[in-house]
Chain A
Amino acid sequence: MKYSLIPLLIFVIPLLASLVCMALKKRPRWSQEIALVTCLATAALSLALVPEVLRHGSAGIDLAWIKSFGFNFSLLVDALGSFTIVTITVLMAIDIIYARQYMTPEEAGSSFYGWTLMFMAAMVGAVAATQLIQFYFLWELMLIPSTALIVYWGSGKRPQATGFKYFVITHIGAALILIAILWIITVTGESNIYALAGALAHLPASTLTVLAVLFTIGFAVKMAIFPAHVWLPDAHSEAPLPVSVMLSAIMMNMGIYGLIRFLFTLFPAGVANSLGLALMIFALISQWYGGLQALNHTEMKRVAAYSTISQMGYVLFGIASLSMLGLKGSIFHMLNHGTAKALLFMSIGSVIHSTGATHLDKVGGLAKKMPWTALCCSVAALALAGAPPLGAFQSEWIIFAGGFSSPYTVLAIIAVCASVLTAFYVLRLVMRVFFGHERNECGDINEVHEAPPAMLASMFALSLLSLAVGIYPDFFHRWIEVALQTFGLF
């Protein structure tokens, strides 16, 4: 481990900035700028951390926290962590740029940016956490800002109910994680995530299996794997759009990160193997369930939300294949799914912003009026469908390759079929909204205009990112391979 201040900075800067934003209650414009600067700075810092991490394996800092309990506040970023953090911070910065024009400062208010920054700080902190209790603390800290964002700015009929459903269900998942964490701490006496592998190897297999199941269920709730998905469609579709992006494209990565980190770097290989088939089945169900529901719904944000469940099925499928390829694909898919889903949500947001329509059968033929949005939305759709040369193509096919290297070839074939389903519902969305007869049942078609520049800019940035990852994936492959080296499994 190399001593580095950056992990601390990328946690503390957003946290302090969030407090500043909360304090600037009367000046939403200032908080907007503060949030933008903070997000860009955090993204830049997390990128600056990448070479160090690749060179030294990991970088971090160790601080005293609760002396009486013997807990430290240690932040450490390794290759897997830095990949997750970069995904989070970069997408967050782009999302903040988008939110600048999607919501006026007065509409958002200072506290919107305050909660957002606190949300980001908690996510970054949870990824960088090395102590189990610290991890749980920051993991749960994500809940409060995200619930507040849904409840205060939500647009559905009952945003409170949605927010609290989200809160309670994810808290139940977290409670399972807490049980497992406390169990581990007391049985092994070790609370450092990076030192646990050795300590856990001595435990009896039955204990390890129970622990692994607790962790898996806990993280699967955050990943919204069927049947723990019930909170997701409402939360993601009723939240305001920038928050949907945060939840769908960014927070989902936390569940993936947690599952991979805990299941593969902590436990001996045999434990994950015993769970493989069950995970794979749930992954397939999520994939198909999400896809079919997405096809079934006409509300655009709900389509994207169900698509998230389906995509998380892909990721879990990669994890459950228990192969290097599958894991690599899953990790890679964090970035690619994040990019594509953020892009899809943002283009839906642009459509909603300029037409006022929320259902895809209320509008049509918008490509002429909003050509750039149409382009970006098509990129997102193609990426989710796994079309080359976009980034998601890479990760999805690595995941499937992983699936075929597992013993369950039949299941892998079913998973591949699901990608056809994906193509079907995303392209249906694009075709209905942007092509065909020009119409807008929710307003005057002639007043429909292209999205404002900041929104377009963030969408372009995401499209280019997706394209760049697809065209030049080698760097990312190397990065993830460094991460996988620390696993030492299979």
Chain B
Amino acid sequence: MQSPELFWAMRILLPLFLGAVVTYVIGKIISRIKGDRAGGVVAAVIALVVTVAAYILCFTYPGAASAGAESGIAWLGSLKPDALSLLMAKIMFPLVILVAIYSLGYMKDDSGTDKYYALMLIMAGGMMGVVGAGDIISLYVFFEILSISSYCLVSFRKESWEPIEAGFKYVIINALGSTVAIFGLSLLYIYSGSVSMAEIAAHISGLPDLPVLAALALITGGFGVKAAMVPLHSWLPDAHSAAPSGISALLSGIVIQVGFFALLRLILGVFPLQMQMVGTILIILAAVTTTYGNFIAIAQKDIKRMLAYSSVAQMGYIILGFGVGFYFHSADGFTGGLFHIETHAFMKALAFLSVGCIIEKTGTRRIADLKGVGRVMPATAVAFTIAALGLAGIPAFSGFMSKLMIYKCGFQAGTALGVVLSSIAILNSIISLGYYMPAIHTLFSPAGEAAAKVKGTVSPAILLPIVIMVLITLVLGWHPDLGLGPVNAAVLEILNIIGG
């Protein structure tokens, strides 16, 4: 029987990284011979084939039965994939595939798209490495692969000032974050003499409090930067609004969640004793993050920045689910958090993709200038509306179901704190209407200048991912059981680890 480690290395990581090399090389050759655009198309097709193949392969996961099976290969010991990793893979692959299809239409006028798709595959591989890593060094290496590729993707359109400036901000703050995190991890190594999470966890109970807390603080702070917890979020609005829309969708939909996932993995793997305390910290951070993100989003005039701040707020919901889960040992909290990762990935990606399409046609990102666009681009505007209502947690869209779980877990804790938290979360979803509604309103108001500029139809490569994501959002909103299978498996895994 195949062990999970071998499975992860051979069927997930290898195709992605090897595929990135192949994509880059063949894309480069074709673009030398046939020109840039043909090279981009070929690279996109190869990238699509690779991701689809890896996605299909990821359904051959040997399952919990094989969890004990040894691969017999020493260096695979630094991977430790489980149901949680598989859940992230099942969220990430469809997203990357849809974004790749979208980019086929969206990036067709850019140069160097062979590199774009190669970097996208590397980013996917980095994410899968982070979620599958079982020791701190592999976690760090893959985290850096993810980071470096996303730095370059954010400033991909280097011809204008914004992506490049946002890119530098992104580089410096995230490099600081991940280095602080690895500094915390290196302290753990000094104190425990091991890099494997399981061995560190075995050592940690014998250590004095202060080094452990210092390491925990450094790690939380470090990965908190990537997860965009307030007050470490300041890079996010710039980077997510400056990136090409497909990349914004990936960044908001899955990359920041992977940043949080790294923290989650370490809390589960290394700090089981500190869980209660971590829960408290996460709850406070989450409440602040959600509220702050929502209020600042209201003040935004740029639609992509608005969505970026909304990502900050939604991250708060996810963290709230996990914080409540850790604090109260509540399975519902984990289900809510993980399910919100899943639904939010598609809703936020949908919002960014449809907004990207609108921006491409109108050439403006100011919300006030987008008057009447909904009347000339009805399909895209309706898609944005669905995404926005879903993000606001209105029933009939998937966001409601996951937020419902998060609201419920607070009440389920049965304490005043839980009730207050859930009420904050519910009220926040109303505050979020304060910026989604004006945006929708502007899109559907009588036509303005921008609407007059719109010419031609949206290309099918752009429309197809949008339609698929709309369907996912609606179907999960009416029948969440369809998306809950992997989530429940992952929650079982977490409960196994924390023994709840």
Instruction: Judge A-B direct contact (beta carbons within 8 Å).
Output: yes
Q: In the complex the two chains form, is B407's CB within 8 Å of A160's CB? A: no
Q: In the complex the two chains form, is A171's CB within 8 Å of B433's CB? A: yes
Taking the nearest CB of chain B, how far is it from the CB of A149, in angstroms?
Answer: 13
Q: In the complex the two chains form, is A140's CB within 8 Å of B394's CB? A: yes
The count of A-to-B residue pairs whose CB atoms sit within 8 angstroms is 75
Counting CB contacts under 8 A, is A186 at the interface?
yes
CB-defined contacts of B444 to chain A, threshold 8 Å? 151, 160
Q: In the complex the two chains form, is B481's CB within 8 Å of A66's CB? A: yes
Counting CB contacts under 8 A, is A141 at the interface?
yes
Counting CB contacts under 8 A, is A168 at the interface?
yes
Q: In the complex the two chains form, is A140's CB within 8 Å of B396's CB? A: yes
Bound CA span A139–B446, Å: 30
Counting CB contacts under 8 A, is B77 at the interface?
no
- Residue of B whose beta carbon sits closest to that of A118: B396
Output the residue of A140, A161, A185, A186 with the most chain B CB within 10 A: A186
**How many residues does chain B have at the interface if contact means C-beta atoms less than 8 Å apart?**
34
CB-CB contacts of B469-488 with A at 8 A, as 1s and 0s? 00000000001110010001
Counting CB contacts under 8 A, is B441 at the interface?
yes
If A68-B481, A182-B422 touch, whether A164 touches B394 (CB-CB below 8 Å) is: no
Counting CB contacts under 8 A, is B405 at the interface?
yes
CB-defined contacts of A144 to chain B, threshold 8 Å? 389, 394, 396
Taking the nearest CB of chain B, how far is it from the CB of A455, in angstroms?
Answer: 29
Q: In the complex the two chains form, is A179's CB within 8 Å of B423's CB? A: yes
Q: In the complex the two chains form, is B396's CB within 8 Å of A66's CB? A: no
Within B94-138, the residues touching A (CB, 8 Å) are: none
Bound CA span A69–B400, Å: 13
Q: In the complex the two chains form, is B408's CB within 8 Å of A185's CB? A: yes
CB-defined contacts of B480 to chain A, threshold 8 Å? 66, 68-69
**How many residues does chain A have at the interface if contact means C-beta atoms less than 8 Å apart?**
30
Q: In the complex the two chains form, is B437's CB within 8 Å of A168's CB? A: yes
Binds A, one of B18-26, B221-229, B291-299, B411-419: B411-419
Taking the nearest CB of chain A, how far is it from the CB of B254, in angstroms?
Answer: 22
Counting CB contacts under 8 A, is A183 at the interface?
yes
Q: In the complex the two chains form, is B411's CB within 8 Å of A182's CB? A: yes
If A171-B433, A183-B419 touch, whether A164 touches B414 (CB-CB below 8 Å) is: no
Taking the nearest CB of chain B, how far is it from the CB of A373, in angstroms?
Answer: 33
Bound CA span A259–B79, Å: 57
- Residue of A whose beta carbon sits closest to that of B484: A68
Taking the nearest CB of chain B, how far is it from the CB of A116, in angstroms?
Answer: 16
Residue from the list B389, B411, B438, B445 in contact with A183, Cβ < 8 A: B411
CB-CB contacts of A365-381 with B at 8 A, as 1s and 0s? 00000000000000000
Q: In the complex the two chains form, is A141's CB within 8 Å of B414's CB? A: no
Residue from the list B395, B407, B434, B481 in contact with A140, Cβ < 8 A: B395
- Residue of A whose beta carbon sits closest to that of B483: A68
Counting CB contacts under 8 A, is B429 at the interface?
yes
CB-defined contacts of A140 to chain B, threshold 8 Å? 394-396, 400
Bound CA span A377–B412, Å: 53
Counting CB contacts under 8 A, is B319 at the interface?
no
Q: In the complex the two chains form, is B407's CB within 8 Å of A178's CB? A: yes
Counting CB contacts under 8 A, is A282 at the interface?
no
Bound CA span A137–B441, Å: 24
- Residue of A whose beta carbon sits closest to that of B397: A144
Residue from the list A143, A160, A182 in contact with B441, Cβ < 8 A: A160
Within A157-185, the residues touching B (CB, 8 Å) are: 158, 160-161, 164, 167-168, 171-172, 175, 178-179, 182-183, 185
Output the residue of A151, A164, A178 with the most chain B CB within 10 A: A178
Taking the nearest CB of chain A, how far is it from the CB of B393, in angstroms?
Answer: 9
CB-CB contacts of B193-223 with A at 8 A, as 1s and 0s? 0000000000000000000000000000000
5 closest pairs, A vs B, by CB? A186-B411, A140-B395, A68-B484, A137-B395, A186-B412
Can you list 16 contacts pairing A with B, beta carbon distance less than 8 Å? A67-B481, A136-B395, A144-B389, A144-B396, A151-B444, A168-B433, A172-B430, A178-B426, A179-B422, A182-B408, A182-B422, A185-B408, A186-B408, A186-B411, A186-B414, A187-B411
